[in-house]
Structure 1
Amino acid sequence: MSSVAETGGSSTWGPVQWIGAVLAWVWVGVPFAYGLYELVLKIPALFG
Structure 2
Amino acid sequence: MTDTSSQNPPDGSAGKDRRPLIAFTWLWVGAPLAYGLYELVRKATQLFTG
In the alignment, structure 1 segments of 5+ residues that lack a partner are none
Equivalent residue pairs, number: 43
Structure possessing the higher radius of gyration over alpha carbons? 2
Higher normalized contact order (CA 8 Å, seq sep 6+, divided by chain length): 1
2:33 is aligned to 32
In the alignment, structure 2 segments of 5+ residues that lack a partner are none
Cα distance, 1:13 vs structure 2: 6.1
Give the aligned CA root-mean-square deviation in angstroms: 2.7
Instruction: From the two aligned structures, give the one with the greater helix fraction.
Output: 1
- Tell me the TM-score normalized by structure 2: 0.63
Identity of aligned residues (%): 42
- Tell me the TM-score normalized by structure 1: 0.65
